[in-house]
Amino acid sequence: MTNQISAAPSKSITSHIHTKPHFITVSKLITIPALPRTSPKINSYTMIDFGVIGTSTISHNFAAHAHASGQWNLRAVYSRSKVTAQAFASKHGQGQSPKIYTTIEGLAGDESIQAVYIASPNSLHYSHAKTCLEGGKHVILEKPSTSTSAELATLFAAAHSHGVLLLEAHRHLQEANFKALRSGLPLLGAIYGASLTYASYSSRYDAVLAGAEPNIFSLEFSGGSLVDIGVYGVAAAIALFGPPKSATYDPVIVATGVDGGGPVVLRYEGFAVTVLQSKCYTSTAPSEVYGEKGTLRVNGVTDIDSVEFVDAKTKAVTKLGGEKCKYNLMEECVEFARIINSRDHEEAAKLETLSKEVLKVTEKLRKDNGIIFAVER
Ligand SMILES: NC(=O)c1ccc[n+]([C@@H]2O[C@H](COP(=O)([O-])OP(=O)(O)OC[C@H]3O[C@@H](n4cnc5c(N)ncnc54)[C@H](OP(=O)(O)O)[C@@H]3O)[C@@H](O)[C@H]2O)c1
């Protein structure tokens, strides 16, 4: 008998990525839908006119991938420096001369934009997002959302009262291959644990070793490995298994006072998830979810290009995912445009809950270890 397990991608996945899911046979007993390959399907929604805050690499990537998605139009750029904003605008403006702002209030008051992408240092997310939400703009807010849960609650309240959406840019959760991993969970039977790894030596750690304090390694700017890089594994665990019953963290503290990385253990009913994360070393280990019937293996918790099911008894390997998207911010650009354009409040509410749960965990883990941000003193 062939069992068809209910591992179909959710409506929000199929509606924008793949209209006709293929089916692949994992074993003689189980058939699951194969998940999306290559680029997400683009819907013909209204283009969203948007502005950016922050002009570093991630903002350049977002502007480029947003443009490639065909859903977003860059119309405004904020920078502390007019010259920097102009350079960014001419690179990504597609000949449309985006407006230049050197105040957040100016950008937030621009009637010609509906949304703002925010990639400023972590500690500034709150004030930047609040000003934009109060200006009636949808906000795509880079991870980690805010320094504290209280700040995040205030932002979501502002979004609700102004009738706009606040979406945290957990880009990895929008990857088709992450969704393939999630859809494969029923293959495992009883789940016995997971190991989610993201550790990458940061070029900015060189500066810390040389005695400097770059933003991402600064308590003043709400930095540290857990909120910067560990958050990928914590968010993935919560997206896969829900909020943990309890959590612990054993960080290495670097010279600037923030955590440089370390193991996080998230405990669930009957199993635990280990999140190995660091900005002080590089790991090449894959990430895995373990079950009675087999193991789901991915090359990492983000930029996933390989999703495999390994049968527990036969060790046979079956490929589940597809090719990864060419642009690693494109899937979130497409999904967030769909949520905004279709006013998908149900999906937005799920993402709001996820953002709050992730922050609740990282905030507790920091405080347990005496890692106190400047805004909390
Ligand atoms: N999703 C991802 O893959 C990903 C990747 C990287 C970063 N991020 C997130 O993106 C955000 C920015 O990270 P980043 O490493 O690019 O940060 P960053 O380089 O420290 O700062 C980003 C931008 O903020 C402005 N800025 C820098 N220092 C400032 C200060 N002291 N006061 C006010 N503005 C300042 C600068 O823009 P101007 O000079 O133009 O004002 C800068 O380009 C973080 O929240 C990070 O977690 C996400």
In degrees and rounded to multiples of 5, residue 118 shows phi and psi of -115, 120
Question: 183: Cβ below 6 Å to ligand 1?
Answer: no
CA dist., res. 54 & res. 362, Å (int): 24
Q: What's the token pair of residue 207?
A: 């500066």
Q: Measure CA of the first residue to CA of the last residue in the chain; give whole Å.
A: 62
The secondary structure of residue 284, as a DSSP letter, is -
The full length of the chain comes to 377
For the domain spanning 172-327+347-376, the CATH number is 3.30.360.10
Q: pLDDT digits over 98-121, tens only?
A: 999 999 999 999 999 999 999 999
Number of C-beta neighbours around residue 103 at 10 A: 11
Residue 346: the pLDDT is: 98
Kindly report the protein residue whose alpha carbon is nearest to atom 38 of ligand 1: 79
CA 376 to chain centroid: 24
Domains 48-169 and 172-327+347-376 share a fold: no
Beta bridge partners of 32: 24
As to burial, measured by CB atoms within 10 angstroms (0-12 exposed, 13-18 middle, 19+ buried), residue 246 is exposed
Beta bridge partners of 53: 78, 118
Question: 171: Cβ below 6 Å to ligand 1?
Answer: yes
Which atom of ligand 1 lies at the shortest distance from residue 78's CA?
Answer: 40
Residue 43: the pLDDT is: 53
Question: 328: Cβ below 6 Å to ligand 1?
Answer: no
- The continuous run of DSSP H or E covering 48 comes out as strand 48-53
Could you give the C-alpha distances from 181 to 40, 133, 330, in angstroms and in order?
A: 17, 34, 19
Number of C-beta neighbours around residue 229 at 10 A: 22
CA dist., res. 246 & res. 77, Å (int): 42
The secondary structure of residue 8, as a DSSP letter, is P
Residue 295: the pLDDT is: 98
Cα–ligand 1 centroid distance for 121 (angstroms): 4
- The residues of the chain scoring below 70 in pLDDT are 1-45
Cα–ligand 1 centroid distance for 11 (angstroms): 34
CA dist., res. 334 & res. 193, Å (int): 32
CA angle in degrees (0–180, nearest 5) for 23-25-31: 70
Dihedral over alpha carbons 26, 17, 167, 147 (to 10 degrees): 40
Cα–ligand 1 centroid distance for 56 (angstroms): 6
Cα–ligand 1 centroid distance for 335 (angstroms): 23
What is the per-residue burial (b if ≥16 Cβ within 10 Å, else e) of 37-71? bebbebeeeeebbbbbbbbeeebbbbbbbbbbbbb
Residue 33: the pLDDT is: 38
The secondary structure of residue 265, as a DSSP letter, is E
Superfamily, domain 48-169: NAD(P)-binding Rossmann-like Domain (3.40.50.720)
CA dist., res. 44 & res. 215, Å (int): 39
- Average pLDDT for the chain: 90
CA dist., res. 338 & res. 343, Å (int): 8
Q: What's the token pair of residue 374?
A: 């400047």
Residue 316: the pLDDT is: 98
Q: pLDDT digits over 243-286, tens only?
A: 999 999 999 999 999 999 999 999 999 999 999 999 999 999 99
Domain ranges of the chain: 48-169, 172-327+347-376
